[in-house]
Amino acid sequence: MSSGNGTPRDDLKIIGRPRRRVDGRAKVTGQTLFADDLVLPRMLHCKLLRSSLPHARILQIDVSRALAHPGVHLVLTGGDFPIPYGILPVSEDETALCTDVVRFVGDPVAAVVARDEFTAAEAVDLIEVEYETLLTIATPEEALATPEPRIHEHSEKGNIHKLVSLSFGDVDQALKDSYRVFDDTFFYQGSTHLAIEQHATLAAMDPDGKLTVWSSTQTPHYLHRALAKVLETPAAHIRVIACPNGGGFGGKSDPFNHEIVVAGAARILDRPVKICLTREEVFYCHRGRHPVQMSFRTGVDREGNITGMHVRTFLDGGAYGSYGVASTFYTGALQTVTYHVPRYRFQGCRVFTNKPPCGPKRGHGTPQPRFGQEVQLDKIAEALDQDPADLRLRIVEKPDTITANYMTVSTIGLAECIRRVVKRSDWRRKFRQLPEGHGLGLACSSYLSGAGLPIYWNRMPHTGVQLKLDRSGGVTVFCGAIEIGQGSDDVLVACVAEVLGIQPFDIRAVTGDTDLTPVDLGSYSSRVTLMMGNAAIQAAERAREILASAVAAHLKVPRSRLVFADNTVLDSADPDTSVSFQEAVCLAEAASGTVGTVGSYTPPRSAARYKGGGVGPTPTYSYTASVVEVRVDPETGWIDVPRVWIAHDIGRALNPTLVRGQVEGDVYMAVGEALMEEQTFRRLPSRLSPALVHKFPSMLEYKSPTSHDMPEVITDLVEDPDPAGPFGAKEVGQGPLLPVMPAVANAVYDAVGVRVDEIPITPEKILKGLELKRAGRSPRVGPGPFPDIDWPEPLEVPPPWEGGDGKAETPKDVPR
Amino acid sequence: MKNAHMTLTINGEETEVSFAPYKTLLEVLREDLRLTGTKHGCELGECGACAVLLDGKPVLSCLVLGLECDGREVLTVEGLAEDGRLHPLQETFADMGAAQCGYCTPAILVTARELLDRIPNPSREQVREALSGILCRCTGYHQIFEAVEAAMTCTPLPAAGRARDEPLETEA
Ligand code: FES
Ligand code: FES
């Protein structure tokens, strides 16, 4: 693909220049229509009755009083939607309304559709449910110790949802032969997305009698599939329109029960039905960061080269599968792509508990182990008396490498990222040399530019783009991708505008509509820029070819001499010989008929051929390094983060204004996670209620950073175009979040000599560490030993340098 | 429940509205007047997304009863542009990345406008303080701060002049 060939190009007119995003005007005038902004004539409103018990069998539901309530049109219960669904085919364990068992406080049990929200809420209170309580499984330890009652029958054993055990080479031997072996445990608390927009969905039958669903979803394609399945309706008769999301961060990536409920209700009533969740409901829908306990056992040689690594993770999955199987694999997939790890073993375990399901939040499953790995490296550097930046620079993975677990590293700008943050932060003069209470910490990370495999197995493209050009000179670009704030529409339009030599304003983007746009898998795994961008370039290049043929014939110049720029098509040898872009389209229409093209993108085949190797591969990894400055008050433990330096290997910044916004948004969210955000639960006093409830399902009490808490961010972009990316671009939406949490922990150690091996790092924990230090004990605050888990025999996959071919050793190999 | 009636000035226009008396100003704006530019993230006074100007002062419209607004003046994001021109804040926000998902943007814009009306040349601290009641989950705030500051010196172009998405002079 000529436009994506990765050579630096100064001729780019739109790509790489700071520019108003194409949807900027709509957003600043309040005209962007989010799902809850939509209103249709005869529209009804839906409210859900949610379980007040964490684990119980439904014995009986009496909806008669609710149905009789004036203004109520419909009451639905589990029996109305018996077919299960779920984002991953391996764990389709949800129903739109609970059919027999409720599994967490907040699980929906019944739905009321009424003339307005107020009436629906009144009627919800009139529904009577008789439950038989079941034992509540509140913590992951309880889940391990309590195989019965099982929260789900599909779990691997008892309440263990998923066990993973993968081994790449003889790690035990490698550790035995090591100069030193470091053993550490870490804990990373759960947190939630907290998108400011609450989830909302509107469903209606269109005039032809087909179903249309507008929703705040990041994944209209997967919602489309779930609706077709549960409603037993051909997908071709359902239209899903993803409204721009008021923030997603992974929280709108599952097909949700409320979406299915209003779709079903609209079909039954033949009237539009809308639902908008309350903030409290959003906290209970969750699908956010898994709480993860971790163990890192890492061997090094005298220079600090890693000899082998054994990572174990233990995830509290909450009550449903969601993306959990993928999340589990992700906690072990990317340890090998930053630094060279010759032998690697990963064991992961996800359990079910009676809490809102966990799933993907920005960084999906990778921030937790990244925290452990980078804090441990800081300890290793100190033990070996090395500067942590130098240690990392020495062990950075090489470009064009297949790692021990068969992840393909192509371009890697990590060393340059490290050098830049070291320089910009004045690291050499400050690290370990600042006064007590002041500290600097460094950490690195990597992230996918899109998952290499789709969520359900198929051989079709991951994204498609269609272009329509006509005699007006206007271009319409169609793609199923979804604008969630990241600038997806802007990337789409910019790629097309660049190739065709026209202005973004000349292009209309039609996106996220399953009736009108080719399939795109969704806004997750940082896949949109790379995949959609490549498809858009392909479609635009094909259109340029059609136009070029017609123009070449008309101007009587060779096609190869034509240049598309500034809304004209001109002869590069004689710039006065030209036609306008509009004339070019007219010529093409006259010559060969209506002009339309398509483009698509499918990631390259991964080198990982073993079972579980589908999670982690990507067309290209982004890399990030960060230095964080902290100030810690030794009296109160109060921690301030005044400054964060970030260098990000982005390949190429397509619109630097938006890229900067992604980096700073990443840092913002990372600071929230590092210092304050916790999605945690508590049991009510048992004499009052058996409930297990969210500690603070409100935006006031769930602390997140305000405008006062945001540190200064000094961003450096490392732009070395990647051959796989559109115009060389890699992802930026998630990667720069990852190094910040461990860098904060490392900076706290630099400031006051306290190791907080867990997230969040709160003043209480720092004070506790300082007390330990004063008492002459190890100033470490963090989890105890990693729990005992009965791991299965690991799947043995020899690394490439030990004769492996990406497959597991027989007999456990599973063909793909 | 019988509807209440009132007359108030919304975005400079005298407006009559009939609404269920329990409704908040947020609901009256969004549901009864179809001014959906004003957003909500909690409806409990916690997120700030519903801010509007009431008699020129920022309020959380989810905490104000509709009934309290009889005869008063409300400014929402829909009223920021004047004479076919976007307000300088709207120009700088669009240009400088201050609106990502755009969900907090209407509240931040009207709040920033009140700040600039009151203090034409605010310091960074004053900007932070003025916006501290509105959560933005996307931007990390810096591009918002910069867009507010840039608006102090920005002269908006007429709408037609913006057709090609030229960057403003203020673009860094
Ligand atoms: S909607 Fe959140 S403060 Fe009003
Ligand atoms: S731009 Fe998304 S919440 Fe502020």
User: For residue B48, which ligand has an atom nearest its CA?
Assistant: 1
Amino acid symbol at A228: A
- Residue (of A630, A700, A713, A620) closest to A665 by Cα position: A713
Q: Is pLDDT at B163 greater than 80 in this prediction?
A: no
Token pair in block for residue A29: 């005038």
> CA nearest A505 in B: which residue?
B164
Average pLDDT, chain A: 96
Confidence of residue B169 (pLDDT cuts 50, 70, 90): very low
Give the position of tokens 């080269």. Answer: A305
Q: Is residue A2 part of a domain?
A: no
List Cβ neighbours of A178 (8 Å cut-off, separation of 6 or more).
A299, A300, A301, A307, A308
Mean pLDDT, range A602-628, rounded to an integer: 97
Residue contact B167–A20, C-beta within 8 A: yes
Alpha carbons A383 and A371: distance in angstroms, whole number? 18
The pLDDT of residue A813: 46
Q: How far is the CA of A707 from the centre of ligand 1 (A)?
A: 16
Q: What percent of chain A has pLDDT over 90?
A: 97
From B25, B50, B104, B108, the mutation candidate for ligand 1 (largest count of ligand atoms within 8 A of CB) is B50
Mean pLDDT, range A536-547, rounded to an integer: 98
Q: Are A1 and A538 in contact (CB under 8 A)?
A: yes
User: The complex's ipTM?
Assistant: 0.96
Residues in chain A: 816
Residues in chain B: 172
Mean pLDDT, range B131-155, rounded to an integer: 94
Alpha carbons A93 and A78: distance in angstroms, whole number? 13
Token pair in block for residue A727: 């115009």
Q: Are A440 and A743 in contact (CB under 8 A)?
A: no
Residue contact B94–A669, C-beta within 8 A: no
Token pair in block for residue A266: 């609209």
- Nearest-atom number in ligand 2 for the CA of B100 is 1
Question: Do residue A355 and residue A447 come from a single domain?
Answer: yes
Q: What percent of chain A has pLDDT over 70?
A: 98
Question: Do residue A596 and residue A682 come from a single domain?
Answer: no
Alpha carbons A167 and A274: distance in angstroms, whole number? 49
Is the bond preceding A736 in cis, omega lying within 30 degrees of 0?
Answer: no
Alpha carbons B26 and A618: distance in angstroms, whole number? 44
Q: What is the dihedral of CA A219, A220, A222, A224, to 10 degrees?
A: 170
Q: Is pLDDT at A8 greater than 80 in this prediction?
A: no
* Angle at which helices B105-118 and B142-151 cross, to 10°: 40
Q: How far is the CA of A279 from the centre of ligand 1 (A)?
A: 10
Q: Is pLDDT at A127 greater than 90 in this prediction?
A: yes
CATH of residue A510: 3.30.365.10
3-state secondary structure of B124: helix
- Which of A276, A300, A322 finishes a domain? A276
What are the tens digits of pLDDT across the range A75-111? 999 999 999 999 999 999 999 999 999 999 999 999 9
CATH of residue A54: 3.90.1170.50
The pLDDT of residue A686: 82
Alpha carbons A546 and A562: distance in angstroms, whole number? 12
> CA nearest B139 in A: which residue?
A665
Q: Is pLDDT at A372 greater than 50 in this prediction?
A: yes
B33 vs chain A: nearest CA distance in angstroms?
12
Mean pLDDT, range A605-619, rounded to an integer: 96
Query: What global pTM score does this model have?
Result: 0.96
Question: Do residue A478 and residue A403 come from a single domain?
Answer: no
Cβ atoms within 10 Å, residue A524: 27
Question: Do residue A567 and residue A527 come from a single domain?
Answer: yes
What are the tens digits of pLDDT across the range A136-164? 999 999 999 999 999 999 999 999 999 99
Q: Is pLDDT at B171 greater than 50 in this prediction?
A: no
The pLDDT of residue B1: 76
Chain A neighbours among B 100-139 (CB < 8 Å)? 100-106, 109, 127-129, 131-139
Selected residue of B44, B138, B139, B168 to mutate for chain A interface (largest A Cβ count, 10 A): B138
Token pair in block for residue A733: 């939406």
Q: Is residue A323 part of a domain?
A: yes
Q: Is residue A695 part of a domain?
A: yes
Q: How far is the CA of A247 from the centre of ligand 1 (A)?
A: 16
Q: Is residue A562 part of a domain?
A: yes
Is the bond preceding A149 in cis, omega lying within 30 degrees of 0?
Answer: yes
The pLDDT of residue B168: 45
Question: How many separate domains does chain A show?
Answer: 3
Give the position of tokens 């969900």. Answer: B103
Q: Is pLDDT at A132 greater than 90 in this prediction?
A: yes
Confidence of residue B170 (pLDDT cuts 50, 70, 90): very low
Question: Do residue A398 and residue A503 come from a single domain?
Answer: no
Question: Do residue A82 and residue A208 come from a single domain?
Answer: yes
Question: Do residue A739 and residue A716 come from a single domain?
Answer: yes
Residue contact A196–B106, C-beta within 8 A: no
The pLDDT of residue A811: 52
What are the tens digits of pLDDT across the range A706-753? 999 999 999 999 999 999 999 999 999 999 999 999 999 999 999 999
Q: Are A726 and A530 in contact (CB under 8 A)?
A: yes
Question: Do residue A353 and residue A495 come from a single domain?
Answer: no
3-state secondary structure of B32: helix
> Is B160 touching A (CB cutoff 8 A)?
no
- Which of A601, A617, A652 finishes a domain? A601
B142 vs chain A: nearest CA distance in angstroms?
8
Q: What is the DSSP string of A280-308?
A: HHHHHH---PPPEEEEEEEEE-TT--EEE
**Which residues in chain A have their CB less than 8 angstroms from residue B131's CB?**
707
Q: Residue A180 — φ and ψ, nearest 5°?
A: -140, 150
Burial grade of B126 (CB within 10 A; 0-12, 13-18, 19 or more): middle
Average pLDDT, chain B: 91
Question: Do residue A571 and residue A635 come from a single domain?
Answer: no
How far is CA A437 from each of CA A236, A705, A744, A750, A752, rounded to the nearest angstrom? 62, 22, 13, 8, 5
Cβ atoms within 10 Å, residue A8: 11
The pLDDT of residue A684: 87
Facing residue for B95 by CB, picked from A20, A485, A698: A20
Selected residue of A17, A196, A283, A669 to mutate for chain B interface (largest B Cβ count, 10 A): A196
B71 vs chain A: nearest CA distance in angstroms?
24
> CA nearest A34 in B: which residue?
B103
Question: Do residue A324 and residue A436 come from a single domain?
Answer: yes
Q: Is residue A488 part of a domain?
A: yes
Q: What angle do CA B129, B135, B141 make, to 5 degrees?
A: 65
Question: How many CA atoms are closer than 13 Å to the CA of B68, on its beta-carbon side?
Answer: 15
Q: Is pLDDT at B162 greater than 90 in this prediction?
A: no
Mean pLDDT, range A759-767, rounded to an integer: 98
What are the tens digits of pLDDT across the range A645-704? 999 999 999 999 999 999 999 999 999 999 999 999 999 888 888 889 999 999 999 999
Q: Is residue A281 part of a domain?
A: no
- Nearest-atom number in ligand 2 for the CA of A27 is 1
Q: Is residue A786 part of a domain?
A: no
Residue A61 belongs to what domain range? 44-134+199-276
Q: Is residue A191 part of a domain?
A: no
Is the bond preceding A435 in cis, omega lying within 30 degrees of 0?
Answer: no
- Which of A570, A601, A632 finishes a domain? A601
List Cβ neighbours of A97 (8 Å cut-off, separation of 6 or more).
A48, A76, A77, A78, A80, A81, A108, A109, A110, A111, A257, A261
Beta bridge partners of B85: B82
- Nearest-atom number in ligand 2 for the CA of B108 is 4
Question: Do residue A596 and residue A630 come from a single domain?
Answer: no
**Which residues in chain A have their CB less than 8 angstroms from residue B80's CB?**
29
Terminal CA-CA length for chain B: 55
CB environment A383-397: b (16+ within 10 A), e (fewer): eeeebbbebbbebbb
Q: Is pLDDT at A627 greater than 80 in this prediction?
A: yes
Cβ atoms within 10 Å, residue A643: 16
Q: How far is the CA of A176 from the centre of ligand 2 (A)?
A: 51
Cβ atoms within 10 Å, residue A787: 16
Beta bridge partners of A249: none
Q: What is the DSSP string of A612-637?
A: TTTSS--S-EEEEEEEEEEEE-TTT-
Q: Residue A89 — φ and ψ, nearest 5°?
A: -55, -25
Give the position of tokens 């108003």. Answer: A20
**Which residues in chain B have their CB less than 8 angstroms from residue A566's CB?**
none
Q: How far is the CA of B142 from the centre of ligand 1 (A)?
A: 22
Nearest residue (by CA) to ligand 2, atom 4, is B136
- Residue (of A517, A526, A666, A699) closest to A600 by Cα position: A517
The pLDDT of residue A2: 32
Domains along the sequence of chain B with CATH? 4-79 (3.10.20.30), 88-153 (1.10.150.120)
Alpha carbons A365 and A359: distance in angstroms, whole number? 8
- Using left for φ > 0, alpha for ψ between -120 and 50, and beta otherwise, residue B100 falls in alpha
Q: What angle do CA A525, A654, A479 make, to 5 degrees?
A: 55
Alpha carbons A407 and A400: distance in angstroms, whole number? 10
Judging by DSSP bridges, how do beta strands A160-168 and A795-796 pair with one another? parallel
Question: Do residue A580 and residue A632 come from a single domain?
Answer: no
